[in-house]
Amino acid sequence: MTDAETATKEMPPYNVFDERCPTRNVLARIADKWALLILARLENGPIRFNHLQREIQRITKKVLTQSLRKLERDGLVSRKVFATVPVTVEYSLTPLGQALTETVTVLAHWVESNMDAIVAAQSAYDAANEQD
């Protein structure tokens, strides 16, 4: 077997750096601020739609619905409907969503822990580039 054949065999089937790769769509979806916040809120267990909307400030019903549908389509969130009047809908993480949320939580805590340094860097950058 040649080196090129070995390298081809060992490469993963998907390449996020390839513009045609479907991983780009998933990466863009989970990098969305609303998706990250939804995943983080679902980490502690199932939540009803209205409670989820109240918890994530400034998200509209339309955007929440769209984001949940996309996450459900990707297999990250599951939706359960209860036959009540009015209908009750509850969302929870799937095992795949739980695995992703572990990473999301680390990222969210990193941002919270480093926010002062980020604000200082932004202020320094803005001051240095004010004359431009």
Domain ranges of the chain: 32-128
Domain 32-128 has CATH 1.10.1270.20: no
Number of H helices, E strands in the chain: 6, 3
pLDDT number for residue 76 = 97
Q: Quick: pLDDT tens for 16-67.
A: 899 999 999 898 888 899 999 999 999 999 999 999 999 999 999 999 999 9
What average pLDDT does range 81-107 have in this prediction?
93
pLDDT number for residue 35 = 95
Share of the chain above pLDDT 90, in %: 69
126 pLDDT above the threshold of 60:
yes
Angle at 43 between CA 41 and CA 49, to 5 degrees: 45
Q: How far apart are CA 100 and CA 43, in angstroms?
A: 10
Q: Is the distance from CB of 29 to CB of 74 less than 8 angstroms?
A: yes
What average pLDDT does range 75-102 have in this prediction?
95
What average pLDDT does range 81-91 have in this prediction?
93
